[in-house]
Amino acid sequence: MFGLVDCDNCYVSCERVFNPKLEGKPVVVLSNNDGCVVARSPEAKALGIKEGTPYYQLAEQFPGVKIEALSSNYTLYGDMSSRIMEILRQAAPSIEIYSIDEAFLVLDGMEQMDLKRWGEDLSQRIRKWVGMPVSIGIAPTRTLAKMASKYAKKYPAYHKCCLIDTEEKRLKALKLFPVEDVWGVGRRYTEKLNYMGVHTSLEFHNMSAARVQHEFHITGLRTWKELHGESCVGPDVIESKKSICTSRSFPHMITDFESLRTQVSNYAAHCAFKLRKQHGVAQLVTVFVTSNPFRDDLPQYGNSVSVTLPTPTSTTPELIMAAAQGLQTIFREGYHYKKAGVIVSGITPNYAVQGSLWDLPAEKRKQFLELSCLMDKVNHKNGDDTLVVASQQYPVDRQTGKAAVFKNSILHDHRSPCYTTNINDVIKVYAR
C-alpha cells in the first residue's frame, strides 16, 4: 500500500499558522516581484480568483472585496515543509518526497493495521505539532493514492484520510474522478481522451490495454495499469541536473553596470549553492541580459556570453568572478535592462574533477570551497543571504547613503517574517 500526504493550500496554510487573523478570509500568495497569484485560499478560489491572475488586476476584478495579498516567502514554506517531512519519516517505513507540499509513503508491512485510523491520527498529529492541515490518501498504487488524497481534501466526512482498499471503493472512486485530474494525464492526453469520448477515470480504465498503448504509449499504459491497482510507477528519482539556471526580471529597469553586476553576482551565487547541493561542479558559465521588449519607446538590446572555466568548480567566488567577466563583455551603455540570468552547465560529479595547469593554487581552491561551505551553513541556520560575497552587496547611493537594494532587488512588499529561520523574526509575546 502507498500513502500520499498533501499539504492543503500549502503557502496560504503556512501564512495562517503564524497569522490566525487570515483564517476564513480570501488570501492569495504572489509570485516573485509580487507579479501574479501563485496560491489561493479556499475563500479566494470561491470568489473566482484564478491562478496566474496579475496582482494589479485583483482590485479591478473584485471591487470592494478585501483580499489579503502576501508576497511569497519560500524560506518559511521550505522550513515548514521540512518539519512535516520529518514527522512522516518517523511515522512510515519509507517516504518519497515528491514536492514541497507532497510526499509518498511506502507502507510495506502495515497492511494488517487500521490504515484509515492511522492516516487520521497522522493528519491530526501534523496539525497539532506543525499547525498545517494535510490530506492523506492510501491505496494500492501511487496514482490511486494521489486520487484518494484529493477526495480526502474535498470531502470533510473522510476526516482528512481516504482509504481505497477494496474493489468496490476503487471503482466508485474512478467513476467520480475526472480523467483530466488523474496523475500522469496531462493537457494533451486530456484533449485526446475527451475527443475519444472519455471524460472520467473509469472510462479510461475500461479502455483495452492494447488501445491505450497504441494511443498513449508506455507512459499512458503505466497510468492505466495503476488505475487497475497494479503498481508500476516507481518513485521519482531526482537526477542531478545537467544545467542550472537562475534568472529574474527586475522590478525596475537598470541602466548602470554596478547594479547589474550585483544582480548577476547574486544569480551566480544561487547557482553555486544549487551545484554544491547536488554535489556537482560546472565548467561553463553563461550570462545573458535583455532590455524590456514591451517598451517600444526605448532602444532594445539582448545578448549572452559563455565563459569556460579552466577547472570545473562549485565555489561561489569563482562562479561569481566568471559571471562578472562575462557581463563585462556584453554590457552596453545606454540601454534599460529588465532581465538577466546565469546558467551553469557542463556539470559533473565533484569527485571526478580533472585539474588544469592554469588552475588556481590548490590551497586557494581549498579556501574558496571551505568559505562556500561555511556560507551555506550560516545561511541555512540564519536565513538566506545572511552571509554573502562582497560583490553581492548592492551599491550605495552616494546621495542617501543607503543601499540600492530597495530599488533593484525582488519586490516583496507584502512578505511575512521568516518566523522559524530568522532569530530576529521570532514571534514576541508580552505578558501583562
DSSP code string of 153-211: HH-GGGTTEEE--SHHHHHHHHHHSBGGGSTT--HHHHHHHHHTT--BHHHHHTS-HHH
Q: What is the pLDDT of residue 288?
A: 93
Q: What is the pLDDT of residue 332?
A: 94
> At which residue does the C-alpha cell 521568516 appear?
418
- Does position 432 have pLDDT exceeding 80, yes or no? no
Q: Sorting pLDDT into bands at 50, 70 and 90, what band is 430?
A: confident
Q: Which three cell numbers stand for residue 178?
A: 475526472
> Does pTM surpass 0.75?
no
Percent of the chain having pLDDT more than 70? 91
Rounded to the nearest integer, the mean pLDDT of the chain is 86
**Average pLDDT, stretch 18-43?**
89
Angle, to 10 degrees, between the axis of helix 362-382 and the axis of helix 316-330? Answer: 100
Q: Which of 35-49, 116-130, 296-310, 410-424 shows the lowest mean pLDDT across its residues?
A: 410-424
Q: What is the pLDDT of residue 408?
A: 46
Q: What is the pLDDT of residue 353?
A: 63
Q: What is the pLDDT of residue 279?
A: 86
Sheet with 102-106, strands from edge to edge, namely 94-99, 102-106, 2-7, 134-139, 161-163
* Distance (Å, whole) CA 280 – CA 285: 14
